[in-house]
Amino acid sequence: MSTSPAAEAARRRTFAIISHPDAGKTTLTENLLLAGGAIRAAGAVRARGENRRTRSDWMKIERERGISVSASVMTFDHDGLMFNLLDTPGHEDFSEDTYRTLTAADAAVMVLDAAKGIEPQTLKLFEVCRLRDIPIVTFINKMDREAQDPIELLDEIASKLALDPAPLFWPAGSGGRFKGMLDLRSQQFVPFSKNRDEGHPDPVAFGGNAIVSYLDPEEQGELEESAMLVQEASKPFDPKSFLEGHMTPVFFGSALRHFGVDQLLAGLGAYAPPPKAVAAVKSGEPTHVAPGDREVTGFVFKVQANMDPNHRDRIAFLRLTSGKFQRGMKLKVQNTGRQLSVNAPIMFFASDRELAEEAFAGDVIGIPNHGVLRVGDSLSESGLLRFAGLPNFAPEILQRVRVKDPLKAKHLKKALEGLAEEGVTQLFRPVIGSDFIVGAVGQLQFEVMADRLANEYQLEVIFEPAPYSEARWLSGEKADVEDFANKHKGAMAADIDEQPVFLAKSSWEIGYVGERFPKVGFERSKERA
């Protein structure tokens, strides 16, 4: 087999699953691993169902870091292709984490509950995909339960997401009357068996004699008519339009009954894109990094503390963007210039971790390190390349954090910096005073943070309301920014990269100062320099 970086990258499919809680992401993940031969039986991957977890469950997961680390990416080799499934946290308080994970995905599977259609969290995650032009494959799940009219589901995709749905299969009934689905391209009927243990029968020709074993004449007529109708009403599947983010191929099935999952996996193999060239900056000049380029490059999209709290090491998840990575290789971090020898890179298989001897564009390797690597870091052999597009967003909640034991204040600083580097919360150090202000998108992040500070750093902390409600990064000419900062010292802070941040009491205040300092920009997001 060829191992040229370009040929290896071409057989990678790196994707994430997005869904509203309860639509079946966990069940589908498990069944995709089963279909891909990565696990032998359903239930082998610890059922996570994270979306529905209660707060205390979340704390427990955060404590059992090992599970979430290994679940962050699942790699499996199937049908000559290498699939990398990236896990996205389902809870909306972790939306920033999800956003960053999606930067590492080349495609997404959108799971819809057939009875519920598009739900609020589906829409939110979809918008993130659209922002990044990630092509989306739709899987309409739970067909073994009473479902909405499939035509209405397609209409909803078209109207709410402004995406052209192109069904590749068409279901025969749903719930108790679910009989299977018609492959619209091959005209083969894929029968559904209610009894999972006996497996589903092999497909049969829709017009042939064998179909009578699965559909009575009335059901055949209904399926034929509705399939014809939907084909007339929808555009045929166009791979180009899919890759451009205008069209979504639609699959149907039941993840729980392992139905339609093989077809979905085959569809991902056939249509989901391999890694493509990525925009970057090299020594100040814009450039593109192609998967087949010789130089090994990548970016860190996630950092997670390791499972062993006694060792403060962390795992940085590096999405490779080019070259042939080999264990032991030296890579440089662009913004700090630090070099690290990657001697123990990890690849994550369904339930195992293995040392990665080599990896290519599209792959994700875990790099254990002691705080050298941070979310958003660009790594390369030359150390000259920087990838854009891993922003921090202005937090929606700001709180002051204090440690109960004043003797541990120094300790707190280190711990907060560690968590900020992982991207758990954002940290702002006011120019005046010694308090720390932490920012997050949702309340749950503070609770996870408090729990981790207690368990991993033995620090009891108290959160107090901060007198600010908004944080904005300042942009503009250096002199203008400094002038503004000097005149507003009491409301200025530095973030973890020492960049100036204006802490405002209200959005009204931002508008007010903005009018008085028109040359200064008040940014809602910032990209790591």
Give me the residues that bind ligand G4P (CB under 6 A), please: 19, 21-27, 47, 49, 51-52, 90, 141-142, 144-145, 254-256
Task: Give me the least distance between CB of 525 and ligand G4P, in Å please.
Answer: 28
With contact defined as beta carbons under 8 Å apart, do 261 and 31 qualify? Answer: yes
Residue 49 vs 391, nearer CB to ligand G4P: 49
As a whole number of angstroms, the distance between CA 471 and CA 475 comes to 13
Task: Give me the least distance between CB of 226 and ligand G4P, in Å please.
Answer: 21
Q: 528 vs 33, 95, 223, 336, 405, CA distance in Å?
A: 35, 18, 53, 12, 33
Task: Give me the least distance between CB of 43 and ligand G4P, in Å please.
Answer: 10
As a whole number of angstroms, the distance between CA 18 and CA 1 comes to 33
Residue 24 vs 383, nearer CB to ligand G4P: 24
As a whole number of angstroms, the distance between CA 188 and CA 388 comes to 45
Residue 353, H or E segment: strand 353-355
- Residues belonging to the binding site are 19-26, 87-91, 141-144
Task: Give me the least distance between CB of 162 and ligand G4P, in Å please.
Answer: 24
Beta bridge partners of 18: 110
Task: Give me the least distance between CB of 110 and ligand G4P, in Å please.
Answer: 12
Task: Give me the least distance between CB of 48 and ligand G4P, in Å please.
Answer: 7
Residue 178 vs 436, nearer CB to ligand G4P: 178
Q: Is 407 exposed, middle or buried (0-12, 13-18, 19+ CB in 10 A)?
A: exposed
As a whole number of angstroms, the distance between CA 120 and CA 112 comes to 11
Task: Give me the least distance between CB of 496 and ligand G4P, in Å please.
Answer: 32
Residue 174 vs 306, nearer CB to ligand G4P: 174
Burial readout 85-115 (b: 16 or more C-beta within 10 A, e: otherwise): bbbbbbbbbbbbbbbbbbbbbbbbbbbbbbb
Residue 18 vs 318, nearer CB to ligand G4P: 18
Per the rule left: phi > 0, alpha: psi between -120 and 50, beta: everything else, 199 is left
Task: Give me the least distance between CB of 13 and ligand G4P, in Å please.
Answer: 21
Task: Give me the least distance between CB of 111 and ligand G4P, in Å please.
Answer: 7
Contacts 24+ apart (CB under 8 A), 132-135: 132/102, 132/103, 132/389, 133/244, 133/245, 134/102, 134/105, 134/106, 134/107, 134/108, 134/245, 135/106, 135/107, 135/108, 135/242, 135/243, 135/244, 135/245, 135/248, 135/272, 135/273
Residue 29 vs 234, nearer CB to ligand G4P: 29
Residue 485, H or E segment: helix 478-487
Residue 5 vs 21, nearer CB to ligand G4P: 21
Residue 22 vs 262, nearer CB to ligand G4P: 22
Q: Which of 391, 335, 426, 317 is nearest to 84 (CA)?
A: 317
Residue 90 vs 292, nearer CB to ligand G4P: 90
Task: Give me the least distance between CB of 308 and ligand G4P, in Å please.
Answer: 27
DSSP conformation class of 362? T
Residue 22 vs 156, nearer CB to ligand G4P: 22
With contact defined as beta carbons under 8 Å apart, do 343 and 332 qualify? Answer: no
Per the rule left: phi > 0, alpha: psi between -120 and 50, beta: everything else, 328 is left
Burial readout 335-348 (b: 16 or more C-beta within 10 A, e: otherwise): eeeeebebeebbbb
Type of residue at 223: L
Rounded to 5°, angle at Cα 173 from 169 and 178: 95
Burial readout 305-332 (b: 16 or more C-beta within 10 A, e: otherwise): bbbeeeeeebbbbbbbbbbbbeeebebb
Task: Give me the least distance between CB of 171 and ligand G4P, in Å please.
Answer: 12
- Residues belonging to the binding site for GTP are 19-26, 87-91, 141-144
Q: In 3-state terms, what secondary structure has residue 19?
A: strand
Beta bridge partners of 205: 188
With contact defined as beta carbons under 8 Å apart, do 347 and 354 qualify? Answer: yes
Tokens of 142: 């739970």
Task: Give me the least distance between CB of 87 and ligand G4P, in Å please.
Answer: 10
Residue 261 vs 367, nearer CB to ligand G4P: 261
Residue 109 vs 390, nearer CB to ligand G4P: 109
Q: Which of 139, 91, 92, 87 is nearest to 113 (CA)?
A: 139
